[in-house]
Amino acid sequence: MRERYYSKVILFGEYSMIFDSTALMVPLTRFSAQWRFASPLNNSSWTASNVSLRRFADALLKEEGMNDVMDFDRFGRDLDYHLFLDSDVPSGYGLGSSGTLVAAVYDAYATQKTDDLMQLKALFGKMESYFHGSSSGIDPLQCYVGQPFKITPDGVQILSKDFLQNGIHVCLIDTKIKSNTKPLVNHFKAQCEADGFRSRFSEGYTPFVRQCIDAMMMGDRSLFFEALTQLTQGQLEFFRPMITENTLDLFSAHYDFNFGVKISGSGGGGYVLGFTDDVPRAKAMLSDFEVFFL
């Protein structure tokens, strides 16, 4: 069992994954979660986590086949001994607060672990749906694997931890707004039912997701920032409810240096991702925001 479960950042592909497109994810070691047992004499700060875990366990028990995968008896006994998940992963920020929890529960209590990452993705999606109503499973998969990876409909490609050595720097821009994933995902799925939306999205958005990922991995900065500009315009078209008012100018501005933004996670708050090859200029431009670079 791991000592810590790190948060994650989906660099590209959070919504296009619904259409089985490509996604690129990296761990974020700035935030993490770990198992702890609380003393009954301690303050009650641990009880909210313990209660949440009990509810999660009860919900999983009702899912078909889960009893064959998880040791719920041992999980329940540990909860009786004041088990909780000590986490500093901010909730509602698109960094995997529920993903770390799902990964931790599976890692600690699965009776039949698998190395098949696509099987894990499906299982994690089933587990994390408790929190969001629907889940692709890639968030907890990243929190479980703990390494960068590229995922396509064909499988998962694990990347080296230093694969971003091409002068493209990534930052997280704090909107100071908590996001609620479930209604945003439901809104997007409702859009998908509208006539022509899927074809417009597949033609006008997902190709730029793939271009950004491929260019980033190749180290082609020129192609990357060209594709990112198109992706940002696509987010204004397809994801306007997911863009907060206090960051709207970042999405609509035209920059005189290589810089661009996109939503992180489900959007609607949390962090916005920024990309640049000129960190000093980006920091100066973003001086009104709290920003940290990966």
For tokens 């890639």, name the residue.
138
* Beta bridge partner(s), residue 260: 275
What value does the mean pLDDT take over residues 192-207? 82
**Residue 270 near residue 264, CB atoms below 8 Å:** yes
Angle, helices 117-132 vs 97-109, to 10°: value is: 120
Q: What CATH code would you report for 5-158?
A: 3.30.230.10
The DSSP code sequence of 180-195 is -HHHHHHHHHHHHTST
pLDDT tens readout for residues 28-56:
999 999 999 987 656 677 888 999 999 99
Q: How far is CA 48 from the centre of its chain?
A: 23
* Average confidence (pLDDT) over 166-173: 91
Residue 253 has pLDDT above 70, yes or no: yes
Per-residue pLDDT, 20:
65
Q: pLDDT averaged over the chain? A: 89
* Number of alpha carbons in the 13 Å side-chain half-sphere of residue 270: 27
Report domain extents, the chain.
5-158, 169-293
Residues 93-119: tens digit of each pLDDT? 888 889 999 999 999 999 989 999 999
Q: What pLDDT is stored for residue 42 in this prediction?
A: 60
Query: How many Å is the maximal CA-CA distance in the chain?
Result: 60
Q: Residues 173-190: pLDDT tens digits?
A: 999 988 777 777 777 778
pLDDT at 231: 94
Q: How much is the pLDDT for 41?
A: 59
Check whether 24 has a pLDDT greater than 90: yes
Could you tell me the two tokens for 107?
């890692």
21, amino acid identity: S
Q: Which amino acid is at 273?
A: L
Query: What CATH number labels 169-293?
Result: 3.30.70.890
